[in-house]
Amino acid sequence: LNSMKDRPDLSSSPIHDVRDWVKRQGTINGLNCVDFNYPQHFHSWTNEEAKQALDDENLVAGAVCLRYPSKFARGAMIHPDPAMRREAIEITKEAARTARELGCDEVVVWSAYDGYDYPFQVNYDEKWDQIVDAFRECCDAFPDIKFSLEFKPTDENTRFFTVPSTGAALLLVKEIDRPNMGLTLDVGHMLMAGENPGQSIAMVGREKKLFGVQLNDGYTRLAAEDGMMFGSIHPSMALEVIYQLRKTGYKGHFYFDTFPQRTDPVKEAEYNIQRVKKFWKAAGKLDEMGLQEVMDNHDALAALDITNKVI
């Protein structure tokens, strides 16, 4: 949604606020779902007005994505002040109520601040327990809402996140032990963590805890999140992402976490949509082309050959 403020010179109508961003998204061919950031996208209108704006553009809400305000720079669910931790939990619950009113059933939690910068700065076990307890409370308070953690290894706000990898995130979800607690995997974040996104999706998918995916691409520079168009840099990895999503029976929506900036955001979104559809169709041909035999034999050259042919 934020990308709709890019290149306002290309828009046929003024771009002033989130209402205009939703209207602009309504012009994207193939788009039918919108994720909102909370609370940033709800300062200038009510939940009812946001829902009406979606209805006017024949769009639906996919999820509400938590973005804790900058006052939580020392931590949200792991803040050293119990009062601030309590406020972060209550904001998370408010996001769940907003999701209900928008007609969706998922809250994606990415905290820019739940981590640390230096050795010995935090008590790792204590911080882990605080996150577990916070999510358990939210899950129990809203059993009809899925809470989905979006991990990230590092960024300019937090050098080391408390949950820095797919493996750590999956361990956290198992310890929280709630049916409505799962994960959202961002391709760029997995690349930043040095992971193979296809394998990470397989790991989470086999546990039936893959609630969401965020598609993009990047150059895999250390700690860099490029937000490039899906499959533009790593087409074979993108193909495997889609193949694994099909294999695990993924039923959620696709969110494109990309940064158009100097590019027409409407056309960029349409490119992403078209790209996913092509990869989805291509991935469906892999098994009939003998992929299982290739995997059984660990045949790298045959894998590359099939990938090149289907792409």
pLDDT of residue 155: 87
Task: Determine whether 83 is exposed, middle or buried from the number of CB atoms within 10 Å of its CB (0-12, 13-18, 19+).
Answer: exposed
Query: Phi, psi at residue 219, to the nearest 5°?
Result: -90, 5
- Indicate whether 242 pLDDT > 90: yes
pLDDT of residue 50: 97
Q: What is the mean pLDDT of residues 62-82?
A: 97
Task: Determine whether 309 is exposed, middle or buried from the number of CB atoms within 10 Å of its CB (0-12, 13-18, 19+).
Answer: exposed
Q: What is the pLDDT of residues 112-157, one digit of tens each?
A: 999 999 999 999 999 999 999 999 999 999 999 999 999 999 988 8
Confidence of residue 220 (pLDDT cuts 50, 70, 90): confident
pLDDT of residue 49: 97
pLDDT of residue 225: 84
Q: What whole-number percentage of the chain has pLDDT above 70?
A: 100
Residue of 98, 127, 99, 132 lying closest to 114 (CA atoms): 127
Q: What whole-number percentage of the chain has pLDDT above 90?
A: 94
Cα 77 to the center of its chain, rounded Å: 19
Q: What is the pLDDT of residues 168-187, one digit of tens each?
A: 999 999 999 999 999 999 99
pLDDT of residue 258: 95
Q: What is the pLDDT of residues 81-122, one digit of tens each?
A: 999 999 999 999 999 999 999 999 999 999 899 999 999 999
Q: What is the pLDDT of residues 256-293, one digit of tens each?
A: 999 998 999 999 999 999 999 999 999 999 999 999 99
CB 212 within 8 A of CB 176: no
> Residue 32 and residue 35: Cα distance in Å, rounded?
11
pLDDT of residue 102: 98
For 276, residues 6+ apart whose C-beta sits below 8 A from its C-beta are: 215, 230, 242, 254
pLDDT of residue 113: 94
Confidence of residue 224 (pLDDT cuts 50, 70, 90): confident
CB 207 within 8 A of CB 172: no
Q: What is the mean pLDDT of residues 229-248?
A: 97
Please report which helix (H) or strand (E) contains residue 198, including its range: helix 197-206
